Chain A
Amino acid sequence: AQSVTQPDIHITVSEGASLELRCNYSYGATPYLFWYVQSPGQGLQLLLKYFSGDTLVQGIKGFEAEFKRSQSSFNLRKPSVHWSDAAEYFCALRSNDYKLSFGAGTTVTVRA
């Protein structure tokens, strides 16, 4: 069975500071991994995805993520957060039937 774990429920970070959101997965085959962001009351916006190849993936809004097979992780990072980055972040894994399994999400609060 596949699963996605986001260990951090809530992270508070100062504006301009770096941000790292953790994601661990469990899957029996090569994972297709995604990070999405959700603003309150909104749908999901894709930040980046990993299918294969370079393990460091660049996304939109200055985000990047690194796939580490040995650690079953796909952590999301941003060097310098902006107040507009305050949102809910979801890590997701796509199975062979194209269904997405989501982690529980991490709420990011940005303080001035």
Chain B
Amino acid sequence: GAVVSQHPSRVICKSGTSVKIECRSLDFQATTMFWYRQFPKQSLMLMATSNEGSKATYEQGVEKDKFLINHASLTLSTLTVTSAHPEDSSFYICSAMDQSTGWDVLTFGAGSRLTVL
């Protein structure tokens, strides 16, 4: 079945630094990937839709300059948290659409836990 790999699974950084999270579709091509954020004991909130070869589409209230998304290939999307602050600490999860299944199902990565000190 479709597999989505996220890296790193955990990252700790100092306030003011930038962190990059990778999301890879391992055995399928994904023109569209989604990035979600999950606070402790809460649901997933969609941050943005990542489109291969074009600009990402951000949900209302999400700062595009803070959360940079690049989808440079059909198997890789990256989320860069720029100038991270403690309030950016969260669990970030990506998902990808396997078009070969007819856009039916999203496959999720295992998530990346970001802690900003």
Give residues 43-102 of B contacting A (CB, 8 Å). Answer: 43-46, 49, 91, 93, 95, 97
B96-112: CB near A (< 8 Å → 1, else 0) gives 01000001111111110
* Nearest Cβ on chain A to B61's Cβ, whole angstroms: 15
In the complex, the answer to whether A98 meets B44 with C-beta atoms within 8 Å is no
Chain A interface residue bracket vs B = 20 to 34
- CB neighbours (8 Å) of A17 from chain B are none
* Known A41-B111, A42-B110: A105·B104 in contact at CB below 8 Å: no
Q: Is A46 an interface residue (CB 8 A)?
A: yes
Q: Is A74 an interface residue (CB 8 A)?
A: no
A91-104: CB near B (< 8 Å → 1, else 0) gives 00000011111111
Chain B interface (Cβ < 8 Å from any Cβ of A): 4, 6, 32, 34, 41-46, 49, 91, 93, 95, 97, 103-111, 113
A-B CB contact pairs (8 Å), 19 listed: A36-B108, A41-B91, A41-B113, A43-B4, A43-B93, A43-B108, A43-B111, A44-B108, A46-B107, A51-B104, A98-B97, A98-B103, A99-B46, A99-B49, A100-B44, A102-B43, A102-B44, A103-B43, A104-B43
